[in-house]
Amino acid sequence: MTSEIPKPKLSLPLRTRVALFFSSAVTNFSRRSDGTVNRGFKKLLDYKSRPKTKSVKGVSTKDVTVDANRDLWFRVFTPTASSGDGVVPVVIFFHGGGFAFYSPDSYGYDPVCQRFCRQINAIVVSVNYRRPPEYRFPSQYDDGEDVLKFLDENPAVLPKKADFSKCFLAGDSAGGNLAHQVAVRVAKSGLRKVRVVGFVP
Ligand SMILES: *[C@@H]1O[C@H](CO)[C@@H](O)[C@H](O)[C@H]1NC(C)=O
């Protein structure tokens, strides 16, 4: 017996479809058949956005280094429009890209985090974790966990209005997996200041 299940009509905006097509094509072309990634080629087409310390459309950004030896850093997105003395939650975000691609300053991910920051009125911390195949599992999870420990020990790197009692771990695609694994790890490691209260895959 067969039954007709109506297919949902999904239509992404044209701009999104074009962007997805290009990002998929560039990602495909920079993958070598032996499983390595042609970083040089990828870099040519992965346009980087610089941090903007002056508020643009209600968001200011800055980069914070955790460990220069392994290029571990994060970009902080701060909502500037909210009233001065109110506190806002902190969202620690892990970008996607099959673990192997992109970074917080990638053309695609910087505006995504700006939008999260503005629309949910939260401080967003977007993590630059090491990527495979150069850096193998579980270095990505180590990096995620180390960023949370770093925030726990150095809360002053975030603006005063950061409410550390309301931290969320979030991520898309590979970043969703990463956020989950980091949540499991920090649940055991006993952070003092950073309280993870939610997970948004
Ligand atoms: C990239 O590769 C995937 C998997 O092989 C394929 O499904 C997709 O159509 C490719 N994208 C482009 C734009 O060529």
DSSP 47-115: PBPPP-SS-BTTEEEEEEEEEGGGTEEEEEEEE-SS-TT--EEEEEEE--STTTS--TTBTTHHHHHHH
CATH class of 51-199: alpha beta
18 CB within 6 A, ligand 1? no
What is the model's pLDDT at position 163? Answer: 97
25 CB within 6 A, ligand 1? yes
The overall pTM is greater than 0.95: no
What 8-state DSSP symbol labels residue 201?
-
Residue 21 pLDDT exceeds 80: yes
Structure tokens at 30: 């920079």
* Rg of the chain over all Cα atoms, to the nearest angstrom: 18
Nearest to 50 by CA among 63, 59, 40: 63
Interval 139-157 mean pLDDT: 98
What is the model's pLDDT at position 72? Answer: 98
Ranges of each domain in the chain: 15-45, 51-199
What is the model's pLDDT at position 19? Answer: 86
What is the model's pLDDT at position 115? Answer: 96
**Which of 20, 24, 45 to mutate for ligand 1's pocket (most ligand atoms within 8 Å of CB)?**
24
Measured in Å, residue 102 CA sits from the centre of ligand 1 at: 17
**Which of 18, 21, 22, 28 to mutate for ligand 1's pocket (most ligand atoms within 8 Å of CB)?**
28
Residue 82 pLDDT exceeds 80: no
What is the model's pLDDT at position 147? Answer: 98
